[in-house]
Amino acid sequence: MSETGPSLAAPPDNAGGRPPAWLYAQCWADAMAEVLRKIVGAAFPVAVAEAPSQPGPPGADDLLATIAAAGGARGEMSLRFSRALGLHLAQVFVGEAPEANLAFTAEHREAVQEWLRQVAGLAASAMKARWGEVSLRVEMAEPPPSWAVASRGWLLGSTSAPFAFQIEWQLSAALQACLVAVAPAVADKQERPMPSSPADRAADPLNLLLDV
């Protein structure tokens, strides 16, 4: 895993009552927005959504990436997006002028994978406060993943974004369970009061009585 650019702020615990899967996806959305902003030189807001207003049907030539998480969060995630978006991302990532009519080559695939690895580096840094150290391994996949899907949603570029951006995400049952299990433990650790010092105990009359 490689990291690049500034660290992103971690999502607050129970932000807006959102479930852990949504917060995990938000780390990816924020990381994508930051990397895209640096690439295109303009703001590129990306949001987590249940579904786009006009979702494109899954295509036989869609691109699929799988991300294996280890450490504080363990399990799998997949990202599915159109080949047209993959071509556009690859071209802007390497500094080429976008040309929609070009064939999608192995070089384009490598560029998309490297873009996702940079995104993963930022996403992992944002996850640290909530789930601890997380390593993310990105691979471009051919066959669909065989693991059970526990939750899904979309990462959508805003209407003001420089180009249309829609990526479907899915989380495995293993990752979903880990996110849910780890979150309460982290929150409990953060909220637990620090033990009082000997001086504080001595200053408390009740403690003096109890120590007798």
Tens of pLDDT, residue by residue over 70-110, are 999 999 999 999 999 999 999 999 999 999 999 999 999 99
Predicted structure pTM score: 0.79
pLDDT of residue 9: 43
Question: Which domains does the chain possess?
Answer: 15-211 (3.40.1550.10)
Q: Which of 31, 33, 11 is nearest to 22 (CA)?
A: 11
Longest CA–CA separation in the chain, Å:
85
pLDDT of residue 55: 62
Is the pLDDT confidence value at 148 over 80? Answer: yes
Of 87 and 207, the one with more pLDDT: 87
pLDDT of residue 52: 73
CB 160 within 8 A of CB 45: yes
